[in-house]
Amino acid sequence: NAGVTQTPKFQVLKTGQSMTLQCAQDMNHNSMYWYRQDPGMGLRLIYYSASEGTTDKGEVPNGYNVSRLNKREFSLRLESAAPSQTSVYFCASSEGREGGGNTGELFFGEGSRLTVL
């Protein structure tokens, strides 16, 4: 099983350009997430989708949009990239439902390194 797959792995953008980060999971998970990782800041939640058809803002949603295309896929879009969005982006998924021994473990992709010049 591939688990969580993110594309692209690397991207360089100019200020003002737009792009979409793609994420897909093959574990039939209900919940999906986008985090960004910056030195000294840890992982900060951008948006999450508790289940297909729903999305919610996390800690740092400004400048981003998301789409939960179906149960498998959750994309992150930067409409007008800014240098402050230079970061490593991680997609994750989890079972998401309470109970039944579900611990809420997150499964992460390998990350997408984005540089905005």
Partner 1 sequence: GEDVEQSLFLSVREGDSSVINCTYTDSSSTYLYWYKQEPGAGLQLLTYIFSNMDMKQDQRLTVLLNKKDKHLSLRIADTQTGDSAIYFCAERAHSSASKIIFGSGTRLSIRP
- The residue written with tokens 């809420």 in the block is 104
Question: What binding mask, one character per residue, do residues 87-116 give for partner 1 by CB under 8 A, x or -?
Answer: ---x-x-x-xxx----xxxx-xxxx-----
CA–CA distances in Å: residue 85 to residues 31, 49, 52, 102: 24, 21, 26, 33
CB nearer to partner 1: pick between 17 and 86: 86
The rounded distance, in Å, linking the Cα atoms of 50 and 34 is 12
Please tell me what DSSP assigns to residue 4: E
- Site membership for partner 1, residue 43 (CB under 8 A): yes
The answer to whether residue 27 forms part of the interface with partner 1 (CB under 8 A) is: no
Give me the amino acid identity at 70. N
Kindly state the number of chain residues that form the binding site for partner 1, as judged by CB under 8 A: 31
Please tell me whether residue 41 binds partner 1 under the rule CB under 8 A: yes
Q: What are the structure tokens assigned to 35, written together? A: 């985090």
Which of 13, 25, 31, 116 binds partner 1 (CB under 8 A)? It is 31
| Piece in contact with partner 1 (CB under 8 A), picked from 12-20, 48-56, 62-70, 72-80 | 48-56
